[in-house]
Amino acid sequence: MAEREFTNEQQVVEHFQKLQSEYQSIANTISELELEKKDHDNVLQALKDLNDENRKTFRLVGQVLVERTVKETIPAVQDNSDNLGITIKKFTEQLNDKTLELNAFKTRYKIKFRGESDNTKVKERSSQGVLHSE
């Protein structure tokens, strides 16, 4: 994707905020999917501990509660868990790409947050020891 040129500071700030918002949205989606996967894994563990494969289970499909057996439910829940894992991986890749895009944008437009300093200055200070003059 060709990098757009910004003509003023306001456009840079707006685009940076947009990138941060996209980053946060992806991160939130990953968190929600991870919680859902954990729920699926907990259900799988509970079902695997049952000895009777013909025991009734109730599974919510859409907005309908469906009666199944443990034997039928385990593969369906396992598939859902596996698919969630794949989806989480894809979103994690998107998050990594967005991180690189944000960092490149910060570097290109020399964006720094309050309190953020250059690494070189921090290294110089730390190498001088506790007592130093500036």
Work out the pLDDT band at 118, boundaries 50, 70, 90.
low
Fold designation for 12-108: Helix Hairpins (1.10.287)
CA distance 80 to 82: 5
Coil, strand or helix at 76: helix
Flag the least confident range among 1-5, 74-78, 112-116.
1-5
Nearest to 41 by CA among 87, 85, 81, 68: 81
Strands (DSSP E) contained in 19-76 are 56-61, 64-69
CA distance 77 to 58: 12
Average of pLDDT values for 41-63? 94
pLDDT of residue 96: 98
Q: Are 57 and 74 in contact (CB under 8 A)?
A: no
Work out the pLDDT band at 61, boundaries 50, 70, 90.
confident
pLDDT at residue 6 above 70? yes
- Residue 58 main-chain phi, psi, to 5 deg: -125, 130
Average pLDDT taken over every residue of the chain: 88
Residues 6+ apart with CB under 8 A from 60: 66
Average of pLDDT values for 85-102? 98
Work out the pLDDT band at 4, boundaries 50, 70, 90.
confident
